[in-house]
Structure 1
C-alpha cells in the first residue's frame, strides 16, 4: 500500500485492516479509532457472500435491509449488496462493541448509510470488482471511494464534466501517460468528499477540486485557491500493486475523536440512572392505579 496525504490533528490514518470474514480479528478496529479517529477496512467479496457470511442468521443480520435484498433479481448485484451490508454491520458492531445483529442501518436522502440511534460513529461504504471498503470515523464524518486504477476516465471535455479549470489545466500539463491515473485519483477524492458531506452527485464535481499532481491537503476552489484549511484530512491509497485507487476524506466536527465508541458507555451513567429511576417510578405509579 502507498499512502499520501496530510491529516488534521487526530485524523491520521493507519494501514487498511484486511477483514477475511465475520470470524476475523476485529480488535484493531476500536484501537485504530482511538489512535487515529478513523479507520479503513478492506475485504473481498467472496469472503462476504451471503452463503458464507450470513448463514442461517442472514434475516436477522440484514434487518431492515432484508426487503431490499429480496427485491434484487440480478445474482451478482444481490450478492454484492448483501456482502457490503454484512461487512458494514460487523464493522460498526466492532466499533460499538455490540452484536452485529443489534446494529440497524439507515440511509440519508442521497443514500449515505448511518447507524440508527448512534451519532458517535460515522460510516461510509464503497466497492468495485471484488473489493469492499468500509470507513469508520469517531467524532467526525467520513467518506471512502475506490476505483480500478486503470479505469479510463481521461477524455476530451474534462472541464465540462468533472474537473475545475485549474484541474484541467494541471492535468494537461502532465505527461500523457500520467493523465488518466491523475483523473482517477481526482475522481475518488471527489467521491469521498461528497460522500462525507452526504451530498453524493448533488455536488457538481466542477465546483470543487484538488491538486492533480500533489498530495491532497485541502479542497480547492475552481481557480485553484484553498477552499478548506485544516478542517479536513484527505488520504489517497494505492492497493494491490496499483490495481485499485482509494481515497478517504475525514471531516473533524471540532471536538476531536471520540475516546470511547462502545454503545454500552455512550451515555453518561447519571443520565442512564435517571432514566431507569423515571421508568421505575412510572411502573410503580401504574401498579398503584391498577
Structure 2
C-alpha cells in the first residue's frame, strides 16, 4: 500500500505540451509503467485553434464524444472539448500501452469520469482560458483545477460563494494586490478537493476550510480532512501568469 501521508510535491511530475504537438507526433515518449505507484503526472496543455488540429484529434473520439462535441453551440467550447478529450486519450493510451481509441470511460454518480477496467489508475481534467490541466495518478483518486483570474470587481461576490468565514475574514485583511492570488488559490484548491472525492459542485465550499495562501507562495502538500470523505492531500501547482492551479489526491480503499 502507498504511504499516503508522504504524498507531496515530490510525488508530482509537471509536464507542458500543446495540443498541436500532441496530435502531430505518434508518441509522447511515455513508457508504460513509467508512472510509479503513489505518484502523479500533471500535464499543462496549451489550447489552440485550427482545423488541422481538430481533424487530427477527431478520429480518436468515440461516437458519443463526437455527439457531445457537436452539442456545444459556441465553436470555441466545441474546439476545446475536442482538444482536451483527444489529448487525454493520447496520454492515457501511452501510460496504459493501448491505442487511444481503446480507452474506455465510465462516470460516477455526480459525473466524474473514470477509466474502465484499469484498477488503481485515475485521472482528472480541468480547463480555463487558454490552458487545460490533465492529471494522471497511480494509486490515488485525483482532482485538479485551473482558473483564470477574473476582474477584481467580481472577487467580493465570488468570495461569498467560495470562502469560509475564517478564510473570508483573513482575505478582507489582505492588501488589494494579494487578494486575487489568495482567492483563486482557495477556489482551485476547493475545486480540486471536490473533484478528488467525486462530489464536484455538490460540495459546499463555504463549509470547507483549507486556509489561504497569498503572495504567490506554493507550499507543500496539506492534509484536508472532511467527516464524510476522509482526508485529501492538497498541493498548489505552479501556473501560467494570471492563473491559479491546484491538485488533490485521495487515498483509495
Measured in 2, the distance between the counterparts of 1:40 and 1:154 equals 28
Measured in 1, the distance between the counterparts of 2:192 and 2:204 equals 13
Gaps of 5+ in 2: none
Shift of 1:30: 5.3
For residue 135 of structure 2, give the secondary structure of its aligned residue in structure 1.
strand
Larger RCO of the pair (alpha carbons < 8 Å, separation 6+) = 1
- Matched-pair contact (CA < 8 Å) for 2:161–2:206: yes
Q: How does 1:1-40 map onto structure 2 within 5 Å?
A: 8-10=5-7, 12-19=11-18, 20-22=21-23, 23=25, 26-28=28-30, 33-34=35-36, 37-40=39-42
Kindly indicate which of the two structures has a greater share of residues assigned to strand. Answer: 2
Instruction: Please report the TM-score for the alignment, with normalisation by the length of structure 1.
Output: 0.72
For residue 91 of structure 2, give the secondary structure of its aligned residue in structure 1.
helix
Which of 38-47 and 81-90 deviates more? 38-47
For residue 86 of structure 2, give the secondary structure of its aligned residue in structure 1.
helix
Measured in 2, the distance between the counterparts of 1:205 and 1:9 equals 26
Measured in 1, the distance between the counterparts of 2:168 and 2:31 equals 38
- Matched-pair contact (CA < 8 Å) for 2:121–2:138: yes
Structure 1 residues 139 and 220: CA distance shift in structure 2, 3 A = closer
Measured in 1, the distance between the counterparts of 2:186 and 2:103 equals 33
Shift of 1:28: 4.4
Shift of 1:13: 1.2
- Matched-pair contact (CA < 8 Å) for 2:58–2:82: no
Structure 1 residues 227 and 102: CA distance shift in structure 2, 3 A = closer
Instruction: Please report the TM-score for the alignment, with normalisation by the length of structure 2.
Output: 0.81
Measured in 2, the distance between the counterparts of 1:113 and 1:228 equals 18
* 1:25-84 per-position Cα deviation (integer Å, ceiling 9, x unaligned): 53347566217511101112227x6742543x7345334312222333321111111111
- Matched-pair contact (CA < 8 Å) for 2:22–2:90: no
For residue 193 of structure 1, give the secondary structure of its aligned residue in structure 2.
helix
Q: How does 1:207-246 map onto structure 2 within 5 Å?
A: 207-213=207-213, 215=219, 217-219=222-224, 231-240=231-240, 242-246=241-245
* Count, aligned residues: 239
Structure 1 residues 14 and 8: CA distance shift in structure 2, 3 A = farther
Q: Which has the larger radius of gyration?
A: 1
Q: How does 1:39-118 map onto structure 2 within 5 Å?
A: 39-46=41-48, 51-52=52-53, 54-55=55-56, 58-118=58-118
Shift of 1:183: 0.6
- Matched-pair contact (CA < 8 Å) for 1:32–1:38: no
For residue 22 of structure 2, give the secondary structure of its aligned residue in structure 1.
coil
